[in-house]
């Protein structure tokens, strides 16, 4: 039986990468999906990919760092499908690589604005709606950079550690009210973000795979689909005793 049959799922940052794969997996497993991103063409393409398989999805453009956009996103979700059962707060940016003393205030504010403020705003709005439903499940996208440090990525690392903290607090505050909250912490995943980090790190001297594959004990980076499998499972009733967890999906990276 499909994992989330009949549920309504929201995925932010769903124009590409992990977000797109997650939206597709939710639809494959029986959910009606609200696809959201600031990238309207990419988001609409995700919806088309879902509809091409005979499944149900709509696109809502939103900047998760803007409270009014997030509130409208939840309103549009309920207007489209009547409720909200599952949410994946995936929208995030990596910013510029530099040692902490060389980081700009603008880069720090931009990263925290999307990765932390955006996750907070989405969590707040989603929880308020799920309380009306008397339950739900939320997965936040953190990172292995939310579990260990990464030289050159201090704002990103700080944002993802904070996402893991928000996850734990939300799980503690709303567990008895029927809302489960977890985070996933991907390692290197084959996405545009990873390509950007590899390009910044090597100046194009190495491909993403050449740089990143050897860093993972399993011998390769992961795929967006592998992360999506975990996210949708965490939102399903099969994960009913999972809450407050920061779950690595990283090919053994943080076990080193």
- Which residues does the annotation mark as catalytic? 156
- CA dihedral sign, ordered 169, 251, 11, 148: positive
Distance in angstroms between the alpha carbons of the first and the last residue of the chain: 37
| Strands 179-186 and 136-141, sheet pairing | parallel
Q: Are 65 and 121 in contact (CB under 8 A)?
A: yes
CA–CA dist 37, 190 (Å, integer): 19
């Amino acid at each position: 039986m499909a994992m989330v049959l009949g549920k309504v799922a929201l995925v932010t940052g769903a124009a590409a990468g992990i977000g797109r794969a997650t939206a597709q997996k939710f639809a494959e497993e029986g959910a009606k999906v609200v696809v959201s991103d600031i990238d309207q063409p990419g988001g609409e393409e995700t919806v088309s990919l879902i509809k091409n398989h005979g499944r149900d999805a709509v696109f809502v453009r939103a900047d998760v760092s803007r409270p009014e956009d997030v509130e409208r996103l939840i309103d549009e979700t309920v207007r489209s499908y009547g409720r909200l059962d599952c949410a994946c707060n995936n929208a995030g940016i990596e910013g510029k690589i530099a040692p902490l003393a060389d980081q700009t205030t603008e880069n720090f504010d931009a990263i925290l604005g999307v990765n932390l403020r955006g996750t907070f705003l989405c969590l707040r709005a989603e929880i308020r709606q799920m309380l009306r439903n008397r339950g739900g499940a939320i997965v936040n996208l953190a990172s292995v950079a939310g579990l260990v440090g990464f030289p050159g990525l201090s704002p990103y690392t700080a944002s993802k550690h904070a996402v893991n903290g928000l996850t734990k607090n939300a799980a503690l505050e709303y567990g008895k009210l029927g809302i489960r909250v977890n985070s996933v912490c991907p390692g290197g995943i084959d996405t545009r973000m990873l390509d950007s980090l590899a390009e910044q790190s090597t100046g194009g001297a190495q491909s993403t795979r050449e740089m990143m594959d050897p860093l993972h004990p399993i011998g390769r980076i992961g795929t967006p689909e592998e992360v999506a499998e975990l996210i949708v499972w965490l939102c399903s009733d099969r994960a009913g005793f999972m809450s407050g967890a920061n779950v690595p999906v990283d090919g053994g990276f943080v076990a080193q």
